[in-house]
Amino acid sequence: MSPSSFRMPAEWTPHEAVWTAWPHDPEQWAEGLEAPRRALMDMVAAIVDLEGGTPRGERVELLVRHERDEAEALQLLGHAFSGVRFRRASYGDIWLRDTGPIFVAGAGRLSAARFRFDGWGGKYVMPGDRELADHVMTWAGVSGAAFDFVLEGGAVEVDGAGALLTTKQCLLGGARNPGLDQAALEARLRWSLGVERVVWLDRGLANDHTDGHIDTLARFVAPGVVACMEAAPGDPNRDALDGILADLRAAGFEVQVVPSPGTVLDAAGNLMPASYMNFYIANTTVVVPTYGVPADDGAVAAIAKLFPGRRTVAVDGKPVLVGGGAFHCSTQQQPRV
């Protein structure tokens, strides 16, 4: 597999399916499992997008451990179950963006890139997660290449036209790839994902479990066009957000600004890494996380303007964020070829 023949498509290109999972481990969900399960099944229903009882969105491949998980998911899905296919698997948690493979396409066929997974720099190592990419590739019926460096899907964002965004904090600043410098990582990203240009932002949001994943900071919405957040008054992430905005403009991108949610606290009063950028672009729908704060409506409206051909659905993302991410983090799209 080479960068000249395979490339990671932009997320807005057509999908055959999307992979996600049912949350099950109470140790990973400090405020309980009921609310995140409901929010994630609301996300699934939005992606399926029933019209007159017929799914018009994309198929959802939903990982569950056993029959009981499947039965509980079906209760929350309602009629949207018709757009869902269940897969039985052993897995640690729901973050398929990072534990699944990254699908790539070229020469009229689908392939996949599989990377080493170390539990987000060794912080969250859970049984089954390292093997999950292989299982997904088998179920999807695709082969591909295994690359011997650590990369999570949430750490990279592409526009499908050769550009890739990532952060220094995640790929250069931690335990993931000791011994690999910026030039070495750029070469590996070009080779594995078929990109020509790698643009590095500095750092992510405070208290981010992922050490600055790009999908909470800046998202391509068209080739060369990036959405990011503008700091709210008193925003705890003002310095980081101001730096992101300046760096994107300096890189020559057209930048579309969305409000920041500002301060969002969990039940224990801890600052959460809340972001509207963690939306998922499905075939017919953009699912946007909201946090019960005044900026929600303005952010959803701003994102809707960026995707005029799709409906925009707001879903409560705060219960999911308790576990470490939001809707984009829990999904991995399988492109249609």
CA distance 201 to 221: 17
Amino acid letter, 30: A
The C-alpha angle with vertex 80 and arms to 11 and 305, in degrees rounded to 5, equals 40
3-state secondary structure the chain: CCCCCCECCCCCCCEEEEEEECCCCHHHCCCCCHHHHHHHHHHHHHHHCEECCEECCCEEEEEECCHHHHHHHHHHHHHHHHHEEEEECCCCCCCHHHHCCEEEEECCEEEEEEEECCHHHHCCCCCCCCCHHHHHHHHHCCCEEEEEEECCHHHCEECCCCEEEEEHHHHCCCCCCCCCCHHHHHHHHHHHHCCCEEEEECCCCCCCCCCCCHHHCEEEEECCEEEEEECCCCCCCHHHHHHHHHHHHHCCCEEEEEECCCCCECCCCCECCCCCCCCEECCCEEEEEECCCCCHHHHHHHHHHHCCCCEEEEEECHHHHCCCCCCCCCCEEEECC
**Catalytic residue check, 228:** no
CA distance 322 to 273: 9
- Choose the catalytic residue: 37, 158, 329, 331: 329
Cα 20 to the center of its chain, rounded Å: 10
CA distance 101 to 98: 8
CA distance 173 to 198: 17
Amino acid letter, 300: V
Catalytic residues: 329
